[in-house]
Amino acid sequence: MNNLYNLFTCSQEYSNDFPDKFGRARFYNTHNKTIFSPVVSEEICSKGLKPYYPDGKEFAVCISHDIDHLYLHQSSPRKMVNFSKELARGRFNRSMGHLKSIVRDRIYKDYDLQKLIEINNRYNIHSTYYFLSLESDEEDYNYSPDQIQDQFKYVLENNNEIGLHGGHIAYSNLEKLNQEKQLLEKYTGASMVGYRNHYLRFEIPATWRNLEKSGFLYDTTLGYVDCAGFRNGMCYPFYPFDIEKNKFLNIIELPLIIMDVTLFYYMRLDASIAFKICKQLIESVKACKGVLTLLWHNNFLTGEMGAFYLQLLDYLKSEDPWFTTSNELVTWWKKEKLLEQSQEILGALIKNNKE
**Model pLDDT for residues 280-322, shown as the tens digit of each residue:** 999 999 999 999 999 999 999 999 999 999 999 999 999 999 9
pTM of the model: 0.90
Determine the distance from the C-alpha atom of residue 191 to the mean position of all C-alpha atoms in its chain, rounded to a whole number.
17
Q: Which residues pair with 258 in a beta bridge?
A: 294
How do beta strands 291-295 and 60-67 pair? parallel
Comparing C-alpha atoms, which of 99, 182, 163, 183 is closest to residue 329?
A: 163
What's the CATH class of domain 2-71+107-354? alpha beta
Tens of pLDDT along 240-286? 999 999 999 999 999 999 999 999 999 999 999 999 999 999 999 99
Report percent pLDDT > 70 for the chain.
Answer: 88
Cβ neighbours of 320 (radius 10 Å): 13
The predicted pLDDT at position 353 comes to 85
Categorise residue 288: left if φ over 0, alpha if ψ from -120 to 50, beta otherwise.
alpha
pLDDT of residue 36 exceeding 50, the answer is yes
Render the burial of 239-255: b for 16+ CB within 10 Å, e for the rest: bbbbbeeeeebebbbbb
Distances (CA, A) of 30 to 9, 13, 119, 224, 286: 14, 9, 37, 11, 26
Task: Report pLDDT for 72.
Answer: 72
pLDDT at 66 over 70: yes
Radius of gyration of the chain (CA): 21
Segment 38-46 mean pLDDT: 98
Average pLDDT, the chain: 91
Cβ proximity of 145 and 186 under 8 Å: yes
What's the mean pLDDT in 229-245? 97
Residues 73-124 pLDDT 10s? 544 455 455 545 555 565 555 555 544 555 544 555 557 799 999 999 999 9
The pLDDT score that the predictor gives to residue 93 is: 54
Confidence of residue 192 (pLDDT cuts 50, 70, 90): very high
Is pLDDT above 90 for 327? yes
Confidence of residue 186 (pLDDT cuts 50, 70, 90): very high
